Amino acid sequence: MSAVRESVASAARVDAILSVRDLTVRFGSLVAVNGVSFDARRGHITSVIGPNGAGKSSLFNLISGAFRPSAGRVVFDGHKVTGASPDRMLAAGLARSFQITNLFFELPVRENLRLAAQFLANGRGLLRPVASGRAALQRVDELIERFGLQPKADELAGFLSHGEQRRLEIAVALAARPRMLLLDEPTQGMSHTDTQETAAMIRGLAAESLSILLVEHDVDLVMNLSDHVVVMHQGHKLAEGPPQQVRSDPAVQAAYFGDANHA
């Protein structure tokens, strides 16, 4: 490798908050994710797209620690976190929001946020304090305002609308001040208006230096939001690059947009 290429490669590495290398997961004879490598840069919105069954959710689950890879590694902020549980990932600064899985429906909105701001789970069902009660309450107030949840703050999470629950889910993921947020289809099941609001919210978070990895079906949303797009197809990485470059890549058009047009 030439000196210039080497220094460019090294600059890219310095800027990467998340590096995925040769990540692979097999389910029996099916290789759902097959040797996938990419970097997500600090403060950027990186998105993973691909047609149905491409391996997006499996990749998300591998990165967030829900699945253990058959091979490959995940490095977050310089630390190897391959196969670490979601709780350990959160403690390291990598939060995930996966549909509506982090909410206590029988508790008020405010209490859901307070628990997430004050404690981290340790994977054995035990909670360890990470912020004082006062600091946690301050964080809760910030998040309630930030996510427009003031009118709902004292309602039970189970009584919120679907869109509000998705918003609260993201607020809960952010309560412990992670440096990176993984989002799996954050606008799934949302109205057009809620989708636009969520997109603006994601953009706002990135503008405040939060690094974001988005796994998403909605091509237009991804193309509008992302700094960098990774396209998956049949478990492999098919292409990656800035949105416009990826959109015009003939292999992507054939494999992805062709399929999408006929979906």
The site for ligand ATP (CB under 6 A) is made up of 27, 30, 32, 50, 52-58, 217
C-beta closer to ligand ATP: residue 58 or 82? 58
C-beta closer to ligand ATP: residue 52 or 193? 52
C-beta closer to ligand ATP: residue 55 or 243? 55
Closest distance of CB 17 from ligand ATP, Å: 23
Answer for the pair 44, 243: CB distance below 8 angstroms, yes or no: no
Closest distance of CB 33 from ligand ATP, Å: 7
C-beta closer to ligand ATP: residue 50 or 243? 50
Closest distance of CB 69 from ligand ATP, Å: 13
C-beta closer to ligand ATP: residue 77 or 85? 85
Closest distance of CB 62 from ligand ATP, Å: 9
Q: Say which amino acid occupies 259.
A: D
C-beta closer to ligand ATP: residue 101 or 138? 101
Closest distance of CB 98 from ligand ATP, Å: 12
C-beta closer to ligand ATP: residue 169 or 184? 184
Closest distance of CB 101 from ligand ATP, Å: 16
User: What is the number of other CB atoms lying within 10 angstroms of the CB of residue 253?
Assistant: 15
Closest distance of CB 32 from ligand ATP, Å: 3
What is the DSSP code string of the chain? --HHHHHHHHHHHHHEEEEEEEEEEEETTEEEEEEEEEEEETT-EEEEE-STTSSHHHHHHHHHTSS--SEEEEEETTEE-TT--HHHHHHHTEEEEETT-S--TTSBHHHHHHHHHHEEE-SSS-EEE-S-HHHHHHHHHHHHHHTT-GGGTTSBGGGS-HHHHHHHHHHHHHTT--SEEEEESTTTT--HHHHHHHHHHHHHHHHTT-EEEEE-S-HHHHHHH-SEEEEEETTEEEEEESHHHHHT-HHHIIIIIHHHHT-
